[in-house]
């Protein structure tokens, strides 16, 4: 069984944060910042762990950009499963994605997917 974990893009600090708690009723996820204060982000900014790692052992999350065979793929959740998709409309399954390398994410490095 895969571990269920979430990270989130904090629009205020412009960084990816590790989520500690989620309140679906209120629509927020919570994390503890560097000052040990509880902060919140909107649920729509949460990104889920796929349960897989790239060829270097780095965890793959939704929104990560993976480079494989000179192409870059955004990890997305479509029709009940994670896959890699690029700007050319091509998609690959996760069993292929794990042979690539996570090179960033679409939140901190949106330019990674240009000219895939």
Domain ranges for the chain, please list them.
6-45, 49-113
For residues 103 and 106, what is the distance between their CA atoms, to the nearest angstrom? 10
Looking at domain 49-113, its CATH superfamily turns out to be YopX-like domains (2.30.30.290)
Structure-block tokens of residue 104: 């960033």
Return per-residue pLDDT of the chain as tens, 116 residues. 678 899 999 999 999 999 999 999 999 999 998 889 999 999 999 999 999 999 999 999 999 999 999 899 999 998 889 999 988 888 899 999 999 999 999 998 878 776 54
pTM of the model: 0.87
Q: Residue 94: enclosing H or E segment and its boundaries?
A: helix 94-97
């Amino acid at each position: 069984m895969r571990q269920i974990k979430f990270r989130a893009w904090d629009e205020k600090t412009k960084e990816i944060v590790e989520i500690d708690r989620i309140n679906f009723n209120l629509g927020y996820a919570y994390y503890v910042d560097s000052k040990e204060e509880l902060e919140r982000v909107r649920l729509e900014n949460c990104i889920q762990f796929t349960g897989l790692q790239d060829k270097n052992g780095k965890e793959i999350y939704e929104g990560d950009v993976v480079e494989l065979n000179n192409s870059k793929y955004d990890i997305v959740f479509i029709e009940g499963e994670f896959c890699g998709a690029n700007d050319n409309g091509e998609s690959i399954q996760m069993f292929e994605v794990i042979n690539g390398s996570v090179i960033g994410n679409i939140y901190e490095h949106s330019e990674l997917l240009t000219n895939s």
